[in-house]
Each structure stands twice: as C-alpha cells, then as structure tokens.
Amino acid sequence: MAAIKNILVTGANGQLGSELSVLAPSFPQYNFFFASKEELSIANETSVKQYFAANNIDCCINCAAYTAVDNAEKEREAAFAANALAPGYLAATCKEHNALLIHFSTDYVFAGDSRAPYNEEDATAPLNYYGETKLEGEKAALQNNDTTIVIRTSWVYSSFGKNFVKTMIRLMT
C-alpha cells in the first residue's frame, strides 16, 4: 500500500464524521474529503467508483450508517443499503485503488447476553434487523477486501447529533 495522502470520510454529517472534521486540521499532512450522503451515495456502486477515481482516495473511513435501530425493522431497504451493501462497495473499490478501508460497526452483531466483554472471535447472533444489516456489512467489507479494518463499538456519542448521553442529560435536568 502506498503512503496515505487522501482520506475519504463518509457520513460527514453524522457524529463520527463531524468529530473527525474537527480533528482533521491537526493532521495537515493529509487531504481529507468529507462526504455526506447528499454528496456521495455509498449505496450506489457507480458513484463510489467515480468518487474514488476523481479524488485519488488512499484511505476511506466509513462513518456512514443507517443508525435508527428501531426504524430499521420498518425501513428495511434503506437500512440494508446503507449498512450491508455500501460497505461491500466501499471495500471492493478500496481494493481496486489499493486503498485502506476502516469500517465502523456495532456490538448489535452480538446477542448481548454475555457476562464477559465480547471480542472479535465470539459468535455473532444479531437480535434485530439493524444488527443483521451491520453484520452483513462487515462480512461484505471483509470478503471484498481482506485488508479492511472493522471497528465494532457500542455507544457512539459526541457533541454533534442525538445520542444516549445527551438524552440522559436532558432527562436528568
């Protein structure tokens, strides 16, 4: 893999993408491309390929996702497109461009009944459609590009957007 110069951050308007945009100026050696879903439909393979070719992307940090856990049951097509199809498209395109993909996933890929912390070797068993789509996205990303890095996280919180921490603070005041 060549030296990383151009970094694409998908989901630019979400919590993770917004936090990365705050941090980016601290890394002037990199050119960051922050793409919102309006600027780049990562669920459209052709759009992904065109964006990578036009911008010579060396690394993609996929912060984009369908995150409305409860609504995923009703909006299955949108959840599947963002969480399952898109990571596969990004991974395949990264492989074509010899680029690194860092993909964010969730602990919802597990059953949630373990008394010990989960690790990457533990069996997956999603309890809802959201978790199923995120697991399918992990699989697609890893199958399409074996250098993909998958980061599973539980709570995402930041100063941007809606999140659990902000909700609890609001309810306590």
Per-position DSSP letters for 11-31, written without gaps between them? STTSHHHHHHHHHGGG-TTSE
Specify whether 108 is catalytic.
no
172, 27 contact by CB (below 8 A): no
In 3-state terms, what secondary structure has residue 107? helix
Extract the runs of DSSP E, i.e. beta strands, from the chain.
6-10, 31-35, 59-62, 100-106, 149-153
Rounded-to-integer distance, Cα 63 and Cα 40, Å: 13
Rounded-to-integer distance, Cα 118 and Cα 136, Å: 18
In 3-state terms, what secondary structure has residue 72? helix
Catalytic pick among 51, 89, 129, 130? 130
Rounded-to-integer distance, Cα 115 and Cα 128, Å: 20
Report, as residue numbers or ranges, the catalytic residues.
130
